[in-house]
Amino acid sequence: MRKAPDGTAFRCAGPEVGPVVVMIHGLGLNQDCWQWTAPALSDRYRVLHYDLFGHGQSTPPPTTPSLSVFSDQLAALLDHCNVGSATLVGFSLGGMITRRFAQDRPDRTDALAILHSPHKRTDAAQDAILKRVEQARSEGPQATVDAALERWFTTSFRRTNPEMMDKVRGWVVANDISIYHTIYRVLADGIDEIVAPRPPITCPALVITADEDFGNGPEMTRAIAAEIAQSKAVILPGLRHMALAENPEAVNTPLRDFLDGLELTK
Domain coordinates of the chain in residue numbers? 2-264
H or E segment to which residue 181 belongs: helix 177-189
Q: What is the dihedral of CA 28, 30, 35, 39, to 10 degrees?
A: 130
Give residue 266's pLDDT: 59
CATH number for the 2-264 domain, one of 3.40.30.10, 1.10.287.90, 3.40.50.1820, 1.10.3720.10? 3.40.50.1820
SS3 of 29, please? coil
Task: Answer whether 53's CB lies under 8 Å from 69's CB.
Answer: yes
Give residue 215's pLDDT: 92
Task: Answer whether 183's CB lies under 8 Å from 61's CB.
Answer: yes
Give residue 264's pLDDT: 65
208 has which bridge partners?
A: 115, 234
**Bridge-based pairing state of the strands 86-91 and 109-115:** parallel
Residue 237, preceding peptide bond in cis (omega within 30° of 0): no
CB contact set of 52 (below 8 Å; sequence gap of 6+): 24, 25, 58, 70, 73, 93, 94, 97, 183
Give residue 18's pLDDT: 87
pLDDT tens string, the chain, 266 residues long: the values are 899 999 999 999 999 888 999 999 999 999 999 999 999 999 999 999 999 999 999 999 999 999 999 999 999 999 999 999 999 999 999 999 999 999 999 999 999 999 999 999 999 999 999 999 999 999 999 999 999 999 999 999 999 999 999 999 999 999 999 999 999 999 999 999 999 988 899 999 999 999 999 999 999 999 999 999 989 999 999 999 999 999 999 999 999 999 999 976 65
50 has which bridge partners?
A: 10, 24
Give residue 199's pLDDT: 87
CA distance 88 to 258: 12
